[in-house]
Amino acid sequence: MSVKRFFYHVERMAFIAVLHFYLTSGTSVAQVRDVELTIHLRGVYESKVSLLALSGAGLFKPIAEVQGLKDGTTTSIAISKDKLPGEFVLRFDYKETDVSTPYPSEKTIFINDQNLELWVSPKYCNNTDSAYFQPDEKENRAYMRFSNENSKQKEKLGVLQNFLMNYDDTGSLLYQQGILEYEKRREAYNQWLKTRAEKDKPLFITNLYGFHHVPQIPWEGTENERIQSLIDHYFDGMDFNSPFLIKTSNINKWMDGYVNLYGQLSTTIALRDSLFPLAGKTAIEKARKGDPRVYGWVVDYFYRGYETNGIDAGIKILEPYINDTNCLTSKRQEIARRLKGMETLVAGSQAPDIILEDPEGVLFELYKFNPKAAYILILFWSADCSHCVELTEKLYPFLRQPEYLQKIEVVAISLDETETEIESWGRKIAEMKGWKHLCVKEGIRSKEAADYFVLATPVMILLDAGTKKVIAVPNTLNELKKAIQ
């Protein structure tokens, strides 16, 4: 019995636990500078070039795009330091002639702290003679060397494994000698992995080596005993102390492999529902001793799986981990980052710029917006949020009073995302004429929400209309009244 891929996003986390992690954690996975990727295109008429970065759930999402790059021309893509180091996909949608239909091709690349220069023919982007980096490039060249050597190292081990799995006389001397030879080569291979990881230690790609570790197998046992042994030794070669593990796509496939070992033991739904919680608890306890980000990633992974497969017993065993101050789940990471940023959004600080189109398609730019009013009130809200609706129902009539009408200009930014929410927003703003209404496509995950460290709606920020400096961040209508008196 197999399981579905796990995708999960934690909705709520304890504020105190998050604050504790933020105050006690001094480790960062971010690089100190941005990196530039220069691409020299050849061999096709033209191509769209996209760079995709790995998200927390194991999906690659576009972060940069260049349209209509012609044959023989060059383009450069800047990769923000917060994305580094990491695994990326370089996608080409190329045309062989000016009338051809675009055809896709993809190349996985690794980027750390080095500017890269790539010469590439999209048609053959995974052939070494048609796609190559500058001579001093480190990460991708090292991974290619590792992959070639790894294939050779594993070749004989694979032959022995096939022999031991298929030979019919398990009591023969030949079979016993095969086991001894396999164990000797398995230990030698795992030692080679360790040595190679030590040799390539400064490189990001060493985080992929541990996924190749070969666990111990009792060849003389039953099939279930072999599976159980694989489970017991699955994590032997993994360094959970490296936060960069979660920036590789291999970790999702590797964890799927672990869970599916339990799936092979699950002959009934009832047995599945008892074994899969055990799988989560075992894996999380292993990760718990490592980096808090990896620990949190594993908790996220199993929450997605239990939620998708309807395993309530699994969700229940996660509760103590989710509330653990050392467990940095994906949502908690975002909260910790924004908590740190909120320290800068205080009275007297300069407000981040906002550049958005309004519903009529007119561009709004905060720093070019100079109303006659003395104040600008930035309001982040959602028409689908009951607290937001409650606030706006009080705020709108209050600010329509003659003494405030010319005093405060409201810029209301909706974080609604779904079609239903946006339709509701459209109806609500028709009732609030006179305000500047804007809507961001990515909602709470948008750049605007991040710039203003919005964790939940509603949020009000009162600005000086002339200087665009923060005057106050009122939580209630009464606090707003006091700030403008």
pLDDT in tens, 133-183: 999 999 999 999 999 999 998 888 999 999 998 888 888 999 999 999 999
Residue 26 lies in a domain: no
pTM for the full model? Answer: 0.66
In this predicted structure, what is the pLDDT of residue 59? 82
In this predicted structure, what is the pLDDT of residue 31? 53
- What are the pLDDT digits (tens) for 3-38? 433 333 333 333 333 333 333 333 344 455 789 999
Residue 374 lies in a domain: yes
DSSP 75-101: EEEEE-GGG-SEEEEEEEEEESSTTSP
- What are the pLDDT digits (tens) for 354-397? 999 888 889 999 999 999 999 999 999 998 888 889 999 999 99
Q: Answer with the one of 86, 107, 133 that is the final residue of a domain.
A: 133
From residue 473, give the alpha-carbon distance in Å to each of 42, 148, 317, 326, 378.
53, 57, 39, 30, 10
DSSP 224-240: HHHHHHHHHTTTTT--T
Residue 99 lies in a domain: yes
Q: Answer with the one of 133, 157, 177 that is the final residue of a domain.
A: 133
- Tell me the residue range of the domain where 69 lies: 35-133
The total number of structural domains in the chain stands at: 2
Residue 344 pLDDT > 90, yes or no? no
> Which residue from 243, 215, 249 is spatially nearest to 110, judged by alpha carbons?
249
Residue 93 pLDDT > 90, yes or no? yes
In this predicted structure, what is the pLDDT of residue 252? 92
Domain with residue 61: its CATH number is: 2.60.40.180
Instruction: Grade residue 418 by pLDDT with cuts at 50, 70 and 90.
Output: confident
Residue 305 pLDDT > 90, yes or no? no
> Residues 279-289: what's their mean pLDDT?
95
Q: Which residue has the tokens 């908690």?
A: 332
Burial class (CB in 10 A: 0-12, 13-18, 19+), 318: buried
| CA distance linking residue 62 with residue 49, whole number of Å | 10
Residue 254 lies in a domain: no
Q: Residue 69: helix, strand or coil by DSSP?
A: strand
Q: Answer with the one of 113, 133, 153 that is the final residue of a domain.
A: 133
Residue 337 pLDDT > 90, yes or no? no
Domain with residue 472: its CATH number is: 3.40.30.10
> Tokens at residue 243, please?
């936060």
Instruction: Grade residue 221 by pLDDT with cuts at 50, 70 and 90.
Output: confident
| CA distance linking residue 260 with residue 278, whole number of Å | 13
In this predicted structure, what is the pLDDT of residue 8? 30
N-term to C-term CA, the chain: 67
In this predicted structure, what is the pLDDT of residue 18? 36
| CA distance linking residue 474 with residue 483, whole number of Å | 8
Q: Residue 454: helix, strand or coil by DSSP?
A: coil
> Residues 278-289: what's their mean pLDDT?
95
Residue 72 lies in a domain: yes
> Tokens at residue 93, please?
């949608």
Burial class (CB in 10 A: 0-12, 13-18, 19+), 332: buried
Sign of the Cα pseudo-torsion (392, 388, 466, 472, in order): positive
> Residues 419-436: what's their mean pLDDT?
89
Residue 61 lies in a domain: yes
> Residues 187-209: what's their mean pLDDT?
94
Residue 271 lies in a domain: no
In this predicted structure, what is the pLDDT of residue 170? 87
Mean pLDDT of the chain: 87
Burial class (CB in 10 A: 0-12, 13-18, 19+), 97: exposed
Instruction: Grade residue 335 by pLDDT with cuts at 50, 70 and 90.
Output: low
In this predicted structure, what is the pLDDT of residue 183? 94
User: E-assigned strands of 329-406?
Assistant: 355-357, 363-365, 375-381
Residue 477 contacts residue 398 (beta carbons within 8 Å): yes
Q: Give the containing element (helix H, strand E) for 469.
A: none
In this predicted structure, what is the pLDDT of residue 461? 95
In this predicted structure, what is the pLDDT of residue 460? 94
Q: Is 244 left (phi over 0), alpha (psi -120 to 50) or beta?
A: alpha
Residue 127 lies in a domain: yes
Burial class (CB in 10 A: 0-12, 13-18, 19+), 132: middle
In this predicted structure, what is the pLDDT of residue 20? 39
Angle (CA) 112-21-446 rounded to 5° is: 60
| CA distance linking residue 235 with residue 414, whole number of Å | 45
Q: What is the dihedral of CA 266, 268, 272, 274, to 10 degrees?
A: -110
In this predicted structure, what is the pLDDT of residue 453? 84
Count of beta carbons in the 10 Å neighbourhood of residue 242 = 19
Among residues of the chain, what percentage have pLDDT more than 70?
A: 91
In this predicted structure, what is the pLDDT of residue 290? 95
